Amino acid sequence: MQVVFHVGAHCTDEGQIQACLANNRQQLAKVGIVVPNPGRFRPIFWETIDVLKGEPANAEVQQVMLDSIINADNPERIIFSNSAFLSNPQRVMAEDKLYPDAAFRVTDLNNLFPDQEVEFCLAIRNPATLLPAVFAKIDSGEFDAYLAQTNPLHLRWSEMITRLRDATPNAQLKVWCNEDTPFIWPELLTEISDHGPTVKLSHLDDYTSSIMTAEGVERLNAYLATHPPSNEAQRRRILSAFLDKFEIEDRLEPEPEAPEWTEQLLDNMTDAYEDDLYVIERMTGVQFIAP
């Protein structure tokens, strides 16, 4: 059995991956893929992790968990999605690191199903936009005090991913950029579910509808119907043009106020992020999903 943990990160797809896969539960179940409800598995996971105290679950414990979470017999693949798997929003950054508790968290998750093939899926995001988005979720304190927890220029996803890989060397790891999600959406769902060519997922347009105005979605679909793209690269260019014009403004977090949060700092953080992507794309044991 394959066990997939989609571990976020925070403020990336905002639950759209879980929602789309859940909307396709019946189709996926036909090929042995189960998508449990987070409200059902989260309390069971945290309770079991507390009982295990860092030890791997035995076969009996694993079966008890599965019986409590799913109704299917002998599934081939189970997908658990939860942006809080690695931390709560308050611990997204600390000690000059992104997700300082990531290694402990993935070890605990891996210990839930030590006899199975485990896979971790992770979306990453430019810290220059991630930090304001996460701070908005915390909804307390001042941004300058939040920012004082760490040096933003020291934050590297590659460092966090290295800790994750070292903690669970036998697990597969798939990583992609949140900035690319609109352009790789169908491929991303295929990579996470691994459903094969016999399954045709529905509700694929729901994600576009969540980031683009209704007028934009209607015009995009009309344009694609009359001007079908000749290849995937052309489809992505068309989507990019429509997003430039019709992206929902309310989903973009307001820029926080802090004396040190300057345009120069944001530019430097973005440059560091782009350099970091070059490192991540070449990391051993990481499947990087890109357009």
Distance CA 102, CA 86 (A): 5
More confident residue, 68 or 233: 68
For position 5, what pLDDT does the model report? 98
Q: Which pair of structure tokens corresponds to residue 236?
A: 């992505």
Element (H, E) at 167: helix 157-167
Distance CA 21, CA 7 (A): 15
pLDDT in tens, 263-282: 999 999 999 999 999 999 99
* Residue 253's pLDDT band (cuts 50, 70, 90): low
pLDDT in tens, 239-249: 999 999 998 87
pLDDT in tens, 43-71: 999 999 999 999 999 999 999 999 999 98
The predicted model gives 156-167 an average pLDDT of 98
Distance CA 18, CA 232 (A): 24
Distance CA 9, CA 16 (A): 13
For position 244, what pLDDT does the model report? 92
* Residue 205's pLDDT band (cuts 50, 70, 90): confident
Q: Which domains does the chain have, with CATH numbers?
A: 2-201+259-289 (3.40.50)
- Measured in degrees and rounded to the nearest 5, phi and psi for residue 176 equal -150, 165
For position 141, what pLDDT does the model report? 83
Residue tagged 């997003």 (tokens): 243
- Measured in degrees and rounded to the nearest 5, phi and psi for residue 59 equal -60, -35
pLDDT in tens, 85-138: 999 999 999 989 999 999 999 999 999 999 999 999 999 999 999 999 999 988
- What stretches of the chain adopt beta strand conformation (E)? 2-6, 33-34, 77-81, 93-94, 97-98, 117-124, 172-177, 287-289
pLDDT in tens, 110-122: 999 999 999 999 9
Contact, 123 vs 181, CB < 8 A? Answer: yes
Q: Which pair of structure tokens corresponds to residue 280?
A: 């991540």
